[in-house]
Chain A
Amino acid sequence: MEPKEPKEISLEMKEYLVSAGAQTLDHCMSCGLCSALCPWRLVSGHTSEVFYIRRMQRLAQLGLEGFDDEEVLFACTTCGMCQRNCPRQVKIIENVRSMRSTTVEAGFVPSSLRSVVGSLHSNGNPWSGPREKRMDWQKGMEVPAFTPDTEYLLFVCCTSCYDPRSQKIARNVVSLLKAAGVSFGVIGVEESCCGETVRKIGDEELFQKLAESNIKLFKEKGVKKIITTSPHCLYTFKHEYPELGGEFEVVHYTQILAELVQEGKLSLTVPQDKKIAYHDPCYLGRHNEIFEAPRNLIKAVPGAELVELSRAREKSLCCAGGGGRLWAEVPRGERFGELRVLDAEERGADTLVTACPYCVIMLEADCLALDKQEKIKIMEISELLSASMGRES
């Protein structure tokens, strides 16, 4: 074999990465647990062959070229499986974010994400939806507006504002909150995307812009407490806004509903004779440690039988929709969501319930791709609960 030209170490690049957020990059000892736990190991295909998070971090440690290949750099779904188990507590997702920023901040965005970033800049949402249509999801229903007297702001994820399938989630959450007598309201078209995903994509500047605009808006409106429909918004409000001056009490809607069910304020009466498997969304479970509330809600539905997937709770397998991967084109057979549908089938479930708008999109598409839509129905928890209250969503 011809000896290859050695790769040159660049301490300048390494310093840049550290300053851009990869502060624990040097803590990595390259043990490789991250790569071994990575969901990409569970599928075949090109990305699985080229994307090794350990190697990517190793290259970054030395400022060597190679981590910035697009298919490597943007493969991570930020599911957090590696980070949660890292023996050196390396903040791996921060490192990924920092590495992505080296190209994104220089203006190189992967083609699949160009429209997303563009729309966030111009519309404040990633779905290329006009800002004035942000509240179209509530057509035909009474949704209270947020006032200083309202206890909670209901923050609806951009996905549930614009995506027709996902809008049902927002509508169901509103009905459930109303039925339980929760004091809440929505702000409307002035809201912007929470910025969670764009930060993961590596556009730190855009994230700061979105976050600052939301924080300013929430403060002006007198918001103290927030209910989110999406675990991603929950994560960023709870863990990332405070350092920018946005201190709010934030909950996911499943948390507040679980409490209300326990207090008897929400009665679920219509039996749902289903064998239900619950898919823990990464951002609700691993990232926010909410494992029980959604399960308690499912168990409260009469007739529903909850079965646990083989990979559940902290060990849940990602749907592949995080970290900007929602918009990625992934060949069949390489999608984590397909494994999730098969997981549910293996446990004999007829319904796969989850609690995240991204997961619903991914799992529904993968279920269809497997042609198992007749066998396994994908539902968001709010949909299951609404059905049990006798409302068709």
Chain B
Amino acid sequence: MDKKLAVYICTGCGIGDALDIDALSNVATKEYKVPVCKSHPFLCGAEGVGMIKQDMEGEGVNTIVIAACSMRVNYDVFNFPNTIVERVNLREQGVWCHPANDEDTQMLAEDSLRMGIVKAQQMSLPEPFQAENLSKNVLVVGGGLAGLTAALESARAGYKTVLVEKNSSLGGWVAKLHKQVGLKPPYNELEDNNINQLIKEVEENPDITVYKGAQIQKISGAPGMFDVEINQGGSVATERVGSIVLATGAVAYDATKLSHLGFGQYPNVITGEMFEEMAARGEFKRPSDGREAKSVAFILCAGSRDKEHLPYCSAICCTESLKQALYVKEKDPEATVYIFYKDMRAAGNYEFLYQRVQKEGALFFRGEIAGIEEDGGSLIIEFDDVLVGDRIRTEPVDLVVLATGMVPTTAIGERLVVQSDDQGKDSEPPADEIIKSNILNLEYRQGPELPTLKYGFADSHFICFPYETRRTGIYAAGSVRAPMDIPSTIRDATGAALKAIQCIELTAQGSAVHPRVWDLSFPEFFMQRCTQCKRCTVECPFGAINEDEKANPLPNPTRCRRCGTCMGACPERIISFKNYSVPMIGSMVKAIEVPEEDEEKPRIIIFACENDAYPALDMAGINRMTISPWVRIIPVRCLGSMNLIWIADALSKGIDGILLLGCKHGDDYQCHFIKGSELASYRLSKISETLNRLALESDRVRMEQVSIMDYDRIPQIIEDFVSKLEEVGPNPYKGF
């Protein structure tokens, strides 16, 4: 495409009052010989947009630099099909956070425009990746409440669905429940569970193919074209699907590990699961002698929130035990019910159930079990009751029911640590853990299952996009994702089905899925220069890149989230997007004018993550906070895409300091691409080498973690860095 570039400068929102627009226009017309450069007092208005469209039609303009407000606003207004559009932020990060009619503010605006122009010059229009033989079917793994719900929701939305269940019948955990707690007000009554109705609807739905007694032997491919081998009693069926819902749920924690609570030791100590079976039979009899149980003790958090067992809360045991207490009270109001808990967490609306069980006369105890002993078949519990402040002792109890927690099915299996070849070297980022749970059996370079969090739940961006696992196109729902109750599971499965459908449709358009849904670009590899170092295949947080036997990367564009982590990782800089590349950002760095040392105008580049840091910088401007005039802000897709060469380029040009603003990483990470900011900090730890080579101080490069709400801290973060650089002194490379 022959580019015809045009620059449009908006003078509204205070920009025209604060800047010398003629001088700014000269940057475009004189320095860069841009053929069209116009200003308008209200560029986002119909007249302003009309002016641009007229130039496109009349003058053949096809590459546009909008020097106006932040790229985070008016993106719908400045959206011109088949046109390269680059935004230069003169407003939020320009005149709103710098003094008007000031020499330094003018220099900042001119540098911003220079950076925008050179980027636009180098960008080309992304051509969406079009995969072949795309499937729009959904695979649902697991036929419990979550899987059945997800399958039915997908099918009802018009997507053919394949459901694979390991057991010979559908229904999962919920099918084993005698009754369920009420899903509607007043939330304190028991209902029959309607899982059988749901099973019937699924089995009768012509758009759902059900494989029972079946397991997934292999999944290869990528979103839009996953090839699934399903082994059903020895015969293997194959299905091509577009996306996958993982709904294999959880199993109860192994009660045989709870001998301190008497399980396995005393016959009348049973699990909640066993109590459901008794309830279904309609009689609560002591296993020891078959006598009817007139007193039942429920021990909550049996092996949960316990660092020797499951350290976490399983979210449902309180409510389920309250429900079971009602089984007892509804059968015999005179029966004695003891409930021992650590904290009563009747989540959702089930505080109403808790109140009802209290009013039915159950005795509640908060604290820790001190011991259980048997006396003629009956059990006596000693308990350190924090509400009394003493150890207390029950009267003899007929039955003790242990409420055991949930273990996600993804947590069961051999643990694999995904090693990179230089594992063990200093400051290597923590390796991913993958547990061979034999559920998905993915043919991925990074391992056969989803990377997990420390308790074996699938890793996802917990705060912002909980369904998105780290394998694009695979959406976890229900208790395999996090412990959850029936209402939450139904909502969760519906949400995951919707995500699966979005993935199918976006993949068909060649677009990325969340969080860069509009993005049609994808990484391209200049393979002639590849050294087979494997950095890209190791560092991709989403396992998008496989390898051939010679360690050449084999990218799967539909698995890609377009974060650019591979681009940042590649030492040979052979990975580029049409509109985002190492040289593109490098030339932006080089476009910055660096004043001579005696002018005492230092220059600092901020590489700002587009997801949190960039909007936080905008918010600082919206709040009219003042930011140091020395900074030049370059947005990056993710700090993971930061290539060290940019730092070397900047420092060798005389830039005094570089500040990387990225998302919080670690246990409760906020990075939109899971590992990006963490990888950036790891790469940074290696920068000292580069700095030493240039005989520069490592203080010139700093990384800070900011969240979107940290806008009020940002001016100070920058100021602190400026002071540090003043101590260090000007970059000796100025003027070279």
Q: Which residues of A contact B (CB under 8 A)?
A: 3-4, 6-11, 18, 26-27, 29-30, 54-55, 58-59, 61-62, 64, 88
Contact = CB atoms under 8 A, between A and B. Distances in A.
B30 interface: no
Given A6-B382, A9-B395, A61 B390 contact: no
Nearest to B382: A6
A290 B675 CA distance: 65
B234 interface: no
B390 A4 contact: yes
24 contacts: A3-B391, A4-B391, A6-B390, A6-B391, A6-B393, A7-B388, A8-B392, A8-B393, A8-B395, A9-B363, A10-B395, A11-B336, A11-B395, A18-B361, A26-B360, A29-B344, A30-B366, A55-B388, A55-B389, A58-B388, A62-B363, A62-B388, A62-B392, A88-B355
Given A11-B336, A62-B388, A64-B388, A27 B393 contact: no
B359 A59 contact: no
A27 B392 contact: no
Given A7-B393, A9-B395, A11-B336, A29 B358 contact: yes
A30 B388 CA distance: 10
B380 to A, nearest CB: 10
Contact of B358 (A18, A26, A59): A26
B525 interface: no
3 closest pairs, A vs B, by CB?
A: A6-B393, A6-B391, A30-B387
Contacts of A18: 361
B363 A61 contact: yes
B355 A6 contact: no
Given A30-B366, A30-B387, A64-B388, 10 more contacts: A6-B390, A6-B391, A7-B390, A8-B392, A9-B392, A9-B394, A9-B395, A27-B355, A58-B387, A88-B355
Interface string B388-411: 111111110000000000000000
B474 to A, nearest CB: 42
Interface in B292-346: 336, 344
A10 B370 CA distance: 19
A389 to B, nearest CB: 53
Given A7-B390, A64-B388, A27 B359 contact: yes
Nearest to B338: A9
Given A26-B361, A29-B364, A6 B392 contact: yes
Interface SS of B by simple majority: mixed
B360 to A, nearest CB: 8
A88 B359 CA distance: 10
Q: A4, A8, A26 — which one has the most chain B CB atoms within 10 A of its CB?
A: A26
A179 B525 CA distance: 105
Contacts of A6: 370, 382, 390-393
A211 B389 CA distance: 40
Contacts of A62: 363, 388, 392
Nearest to B394: A9
Nearest to B351: A29
Interface string B367-397: 0001000000000001000011111111100
A59 B388 contact: yes
A61 B390 CA distance: 14
B329 to A, nearest CB: 12
Nearest to B362: A26
A61 B363 CA distance: 8
Nearest to B365: A62
A7 B392 contact: yes
B58 to A, nearest CB: 72
Contacts of B370: 6
Nearest to A7: B392
B352 to A, nearest CB: 12
Kindly name the residue among A3, A9, A11, A18 whose own CB sees the greatest number of chain B CB atoms within 10 A: A9
Contacts of B387: 30, 54-55, 58
A215 to B, nearest CB: 32
A30 to B, nearest CB: 4
Contact of A27 (B358, B382, B395): B358
B371 to A, nearest CB: 10
Contacts of B360: 26
A125 to B, nearest CB: 40
Contacts of A55: 387-389
Contacts of B361: 18, 26
A54 B385 CA distance: 14
A59 B393 CA distance: 13
Contacts of B362: 26
Nearest to B295: A11
A313 to B, nearest CB: 29
Nearest to B371: A6
A7 B355 contact: no
A26 B355 CA distance: 9
A30 B354 CA distance: 13
A64 B336 contact: no
B578 to A, nearest CB: 61
Given A11-B336, A26-B361, A30-B366, A64 B355 contact: no
Contacts of B359: 26-27
A4 B387 CA distance: 16
B363 A64 contact: no
B376 to A, nearest CB: 17
Contacts of B388: 7, 55, 58-59, 62, 64
A58 B366 CA distance: 11
